[in-house]
A and B are shown apart, each in its own frame.
With several copies, the nearest count.
Chain A
Amino acid sequence: MKRARLKVLGNEQIGPYFLIRVGCGALDPGCPGQFFMLEAPGRVLPRPMSVCLAPAGELAFLIDPIGPGTRALCALEPGDAIHVLGPLGHGFRLDVERPLLVGGGIGIAPLPFVSERLGAPPALLGFRSEWHAEAAALIPNAEVVIEPTYVTEAMPAGHDVLACGPEPMLETVRALSPDAQLAWEAPMACGYGACYGCAVEIGGELKRLCVEGPVLAAA
């Protein structure tokens, strides 16, 4: 875990999302499923964002502008600089035999990096609309379903599932595929185990998602 002030290199809109590229400076890009805390200009707390892509010397984040923090991030322009802390948490185990990436909505954010590291395994992505589905272009080998169809209705059996998406989606994936790896979300103030804000129930106890996760085994 390191903190650095990184230059914004690019900001490109993809459907309703924004792909923000920063120069990664001295920061290690980490593993797929890990995340960084990004300074959201003008806000008190940073925001957790999964690494979406990590080409040499860069880090890219795919961000959905849903509130004040993400809106501030999506308004960044090339030349701006923000403080970034990471990599943080535990990402996906990549020692899997028949990987299937499953993502829903902005939950696809960590999957391009996973896909790259796993050599473009099959992916199943669900979106609310064709517009949102534009982001599927970031992931090769992807089948896309649009609501009212849900990814969990189209999920083939017999795979090692690596999933990220809204909570109801993850719950259904967990039920269908008990040894899936699931990337969860929780509000985070610090991202490195200091605030105890991100507590979620893990094995019947409240534990810090930023320390134990965000990727957890389904069972």
Chain B
Amino acid sequence: MLLLNGSGCLDALIAPDVARALDAFVTKTITPLPRDGNAPVRIAETEHGMLNAIGLANPGREKFLDEVLPHLRELGFPLWVSVGGFAADEYAETCAALDDVTIELNLSCPNVDEAPESAAEIVGACRAATDLPLYAKLSPAAWDVADTARAVEAAGADGLSLVNTIRGLSLDERTLRPTLERGSGGYSGPALKPIALAAVYACARATTIPIVGMGGVRTGRDALELIAAGASAVALGTVLFSDPDAPLRVRTELDVERSARGFDSAHDARGIAHWTDAGQRADVHANVL
């Protein structure tokens, strides 16, 4: 069972020990041009989660390829590169420039103004541009995320990353004006867990490709729930901010949880939320990651 970080929730160059405790490191989303991101304040805590409006701050494709990626490679662990853009060809160009990594297409950042082109169209363009494994990262802000999942599978995605943040807003307790300079931001953390579980559960029924589950995972039990819903891998996001030791802790807790429930490996628990009373698997057929 692979444990990853959520894109944008860890910098392996600054905290290599945290990244090393994961099975692969996922970069912050890289766009064609460098971006400073949104003006501060860019983060805020809510009662049961947090908001961010980082706005895809990143060095841009060229600098990433020339300066960042070589340093990441030196660290020696498997890499996932999160690719962003504002049109299908922008995504595809970045994909074409990559090699020896897994690609996660960020089709779902709530912190930029431009509406995303059709997810399937972007995946199709990227599929034509690379043979690398392609994961489509989807937003839960859709009437039926399983529809999008089916469409990106048909367009050639090798896997799904579920879910990105959903739009939220908080107000300053004194001024009642938005805490974030941008107004709204992406809502993540504990409050997101039921939404993430619903997305993973629905997409595991709708597609046959593996799923990286994320959203509000704090404990091994949370990770096991995403696995039960159909995830083949789990990513840690917000929890890394409060606990950089979470990778090891969650892995240990997951082992305890799954063995207490009689599973020889976390993998054996994959999709059990879909089992029927007869103990057979229902229509889940996600492949192994």
Contacts and interface: CB of A to CB of B under 8 A. Distances in A.
Whether chains A and B associate is yes
Interface of A: 1, 3, 37, 39, 43-46, 67-69, 83, 85, 186-190, 192-200, 205-206, 211
Interface string B186-218: 000110000000000000000000000000000
A44 B189 contact: yes
Contacts of B234: none
Contacts, number: 93
Given A44-B50, A197-B42, A190 B240 contact: yes
A199 B37 contact: yes
**Among A44, A45, A199, A211, which residue has the most Cβ atoms of chain B within 10 A?**
A44
7 contacts: A45-B45, A45-B50, A187-B43, A194-B18, A196-B37, A197-B52, A206-B36
A187 B8 CA distance: 17
Interface in B29-57: 36-37, 40-50, 52, 54, 57
A167 to B, nearest CB: 12
Contacts of B46: 44
Contacts of B54: 195-197, 199
B43 A194 contact: no
B57 A199 contact: yes
Contacts of A1: 15, 244
A206 B57 contact: yes
Size category of the binding interface on chain B = 20 to 34
A195 B241 contact: yes
B241 A189 contact: yes
Contacts of A197: 42-43, 52, 54
B252 to A, nearest CB: 15
Interface string B1-37: 0000000111100110010000000001000000011
B89 interface: no
Contact of B52 (A43, A67, A192, A195): A195
B125 to A, nearest CB: 28
B175 interface: no
B67 interface: no
Contacts of A198: 40, 43
Contacts of B240: 190, 194
A44 B190 contact: yes
Contact of B11 (A39, A67, A194): A194
Given A44-B48, A197-B42, 11 more contacts: A45-B241, A186-B40, A188-B43, A189-B238, A189-B241, A190-B242, A194-B9, A194-B241, A195-B8, A198-B40, A199-B37
B15 A194 contact: yes
Interface string B225-258: 0000000000000101111110000000000000
B244 A192 contact: yes
Contacts of A45: 45, 50, 241-242
Interface string B73-100: 0000000000000000000000000000
B242 A46 contact: yes
